[in-house]
Structure formats: C-alpha cells, structure tokens
Amino acid sequence: MIKITLKTNRRSEMVDITARVERVVEEAGFKEGACIIFIPHTTAGVTINENADPSVQSDIQAVLSRMVPAGAGYSHLEGNADSHIKAGLMGSSVCVLVEGGKLQLGTWQGIFFCEFDGPRHRQVWVSFLRE
C-alpha cells in the first residue's frame, strides 16, 4: 500500500487527485490490473466524476449541502454529523482499471478526494490488484 498525503483548505472541497494517483501507478511500475483508492477517514470520501468543468464539483457540493445541511439538529455531539453523512454518501473507495501502466478513466473523468470536515491533513491509500 502507498500513502498519499494532502492538506485541505476549506471545510468542504473536492480535490482532484488524479495526477497524484497516476504518479503512484507509474512509480510502482504497475502495468495491468486494478488500482484501489481508499480514504481512511470518516468525514471524507472519494469519487470519480468530471474534471473538465469545475462547476460540476461546485454543484455536487451544493447539492450535498442542501441534502445534508450543517447544524440540522443531529445527535452527534462533535458538530460534524453532516460531514459523516456526506462521506457515507460519497463512499470511501473507488477502483480504477489499469492497462499498459495507465489509469483507464473516461475522457472527462478525474478522481476527487472529497473533504467535508476541513481544513485537515489527510491521507489517501492506494493499493493494486493484479490480473
């Protein structure tokens, strides 16, 4: 397993980590199989979505905020229950096929770390499954 570290800057943000994951695949010399990207945090998640137009990330964050507003009378005492729920909705892992040493993402796809309780220092764990 390889760990990527990153620092988020806002309470809620989506950070494009595609290039970092591509670098991990290249440096590991991984050629064929699957790359698993896992987020070991309960208030952050990961998703694959469009990386050409940043308004997509803004729209995703806006919809999640409307669906799960901060301070909506949750029982969780730390004040970040909305962050836990949003992370659960996004999920903690994605799997991307690798062929010829390259991530097999669609033309407009990118891998996004989804922060919901920042700013924080975070980790992204990357592992591989061989064919």
- Spatial CB neighbours of 59, under 8 Å, sequence gap ≥ 6: none
Q: DSSP string covering 83-122, please?
A: HHHHHHHH-SEEEEEEETTEE---TTEEEEEEESS-S-EE
Distance (Å, rounded) from C-alpha 7 to C-alpha 43? Answer: 14
* pLDDT for 72: 86
Q: Which CATH number fits domain 2-130: 2.60.120.460, 3.30.360.10, 3.40.50.800, 3.30.450.30?
A: 2.60.120.460
* pLDDT for 62: 97
pLDDT by residue for the chain (131 residues), tens digit each? 999 999 999 999 999 999 999 999 999 999 999 999 999 999 999 999 999 999 999 999 999 999 999 988 899 878 899 999 999 999 999 999 999 999 999 999 999 999 999 999 999 999 999 97
